[in-house]
Amino acid sequence: MSQHDFTSLSLKSGLCDNLSSLGYRQMTPVQAQALPRILAGVDLIAQAKTGSGKTVAFGLGLLEKLNVKQFRVQSLVLCPTRELADQVARELRKLARGVHNVKILTLCGGMPFGPQIGSLEHGAHIIVGTPGRVEEHLRKGYLKLDALTMLVLDEADRMLEMGFQATLDAIVEKMPKARQTLLFSATYPDEIRAIAKRVMQQPEVLQLKEQHSKSTISQHFFRVKDNAERPEAVARLLLEHRPDSTVVFCNTRRDTEELASALREYQLNVIALHGELDQRARDQALVCFANKSVSVLVATDVAARGLDIAELDMVINYHIARDAEVHTHRIGRTGRAGAKGMACSLFGDREMQKIERLKDYGGIDIVAAELPNKVVLNAPSYQPPMSCLQLDSGKKQKIRPGDILGALTREDGIDGSEVGKIHIFDNFAYVAVRRRAADQALRTLSAGKLKGRSVRARKIR
């Protein structure tokens, strides 16, 4: 038995059996190094890149220590964004299938407050949430943490960047001092050390500075004369390589809006994602990008946290990231699970200091490459492979993915192979279909019924 096998750990039989059924056998480096420490009960600061398997690491730790018979909140996982909280909760529920009657509840901003109060009254073992909403429930007395044994701060660097330090302090004041605290972060700035000193007891530090494999991610750097050249440079890269899924990282919200607007002038299919979008617009943007009905997502680092995109063809850095670790984190979103990915970074004369830091941090030789020829700007634009349809029914109408698939593939409908991802929210749902089948799918949904009732559907443009 390898020391990197999950079976080498002393886990409950239900957890082990479930891991086997999920196909989880070999631990990732962060899991192999973090899990023994977590199970031993120590406070831990773990620095690891996105996609390293940290959710499974802390998820197994808190599920192993959970006393299901004690129906009180025993673990709290705090995340910077609702999207990441939802992603973490999904993974925890998947891991918890082998443990009887585990109740996991999400508490996030942007969602109705009343139903969350009702859910809290029914009780939960594990809370996953965003700091603002968790603190509000604590302050108003709906959430009690007196039985808490484990606190997890996931992507703590982003929580601090988003200004949650005072909120985190207020939450920590309401929980027992005798607890285990785990802090996961993609970067390790001084602010992390400062908060660790306040909320943790003699933490061990685990830093996995994994460099991305050159065989899976090809990095390219392009010099631009000034900021005015940047939008066209991005358009040239996109029109040359024509990737199905690209994230363009900007350092500011203003840049995201201005770049998205500029790229639309080149007839590119693009959407901007930043902190000023309301929750519904944010959900729709993420859904359309995840289901490949939008090709280009222009986002800030904070807004892009929690993106659950398995296959990302390209990452473009509109400006070089302020921190070398953030650069590594950005490009690590492509080339996952052995797939090929491309990372392109634009830089100007004022960014040479950042370039030097990248050279030192990554041990890479950076040579400016030639941008694609301007002639590509005259080529016809390209469209994403899927179209997205929105339906006016969701969870509250008892709609399930199988209902939508069945409605689309009935007689005179479309083939099941034309249907992509389905996302269901409380009162509406989204389904991706192949672009060539979108009009037929819309006619099929509009002419038929879903769960015995007529459904309104529209194409998201």
The residue among 144, 173, 207 that closes a domain is 207
User: Rounded distance, CA 308 to CA 393, Å?
Assistant: 24
With beta carbons less than 8 A apart as the criterion, state whether 35 and 57 touch.
yes
Does some domain include residue 46? Answer: yes
- Cβ–Cβ contacts within 10 Å for residue 309, how many? 17
Does some domain include residue 365? Answer: yes
The residue among 327, 359, 378 that closes a domain is 378
User: Rounded distance, CA 1 to CA 8, Å?
Assistant: 7
**Same domain as 411, residue 353:** no
Nearest to 80 by CA among 13, 157, 136, 186: 157
**Same domain as 374, residue 302:** yes
**Same domain as 164, residue 240:** no
Does some domain include residue 89? Answer: yes
**Same domain as 285, residue 141:** no
Tokens at residue 71, please?
A: 């129906």
**Same domain as 242, residue 100:** no
CATH code of 112's domain: 3.40.50.300
The residue among 378, 412, 438 that closes a domain is 378
Does some domain include residue 79? Answer: yes
**Same domain as 451, residue 363:** no
Which pLDDT score is estimated for 403? 85
Amino acid symbol at 148: L
Does some domain include residue 134? Answer: yes
CATH code of 431's domain: 3.30.70.330
**Same domain as 367, residue 395:** no
Does some domain include residue 296? Answer: yes
Does some domain include residue 120? Answer: yes
Measured in whole angstroms, the distance separating CA 254 from the mean position of its chain's CA atoms is 22
322 to 208, 252, 314, 368, 417: CA distances (angstroms):
20, 11, 20, 19, 43
Write the DSSP symbol of residue 316.
E
pLDDT in tens, the chain (461 residues): 455 788 788 788 888 888 888 888 788 888 889 999 999 999 999 987 666 788 999 999 999 999 999 999 999 999 987 878 888 999 999 999 888 889 999 998 878 889 999 999 999 999 999 898 999 999 999 999 999 999 999 988 878 876 788 899 999 999 999 999 999 987 777 788 888 888 999 999 988 755 444 556 788 999 999 889 999 999 999 999 999 999 999 988 899 999 999 999 999 999 998 877 888 888 899 899 989 999 999 998 766 665 656 668 899 999 998 888 788 778 877 766 556 788 899 999 999 989 888 888 877 788 889 999 999 999 889 999 999 999 999 988 888 888 888 888 887 888 888 898 889 888 999 999 999 999 999 999 888 888 788 889 999 98
Residue 284's domain comprises: 217-378
**Same domain as 266, residue 160:** no
**Same domain as 58, residue 195:** yes
Does some domain include residue 212? Answer: no
**Same domain as 165, residue 249:** no
* The total number of structural domains that make up the chain: 3
**Same domain as 292, residue 260:** yes
**Same domain as 241, residue 183:** no
Which pLDDT score is estimated for 339? 63
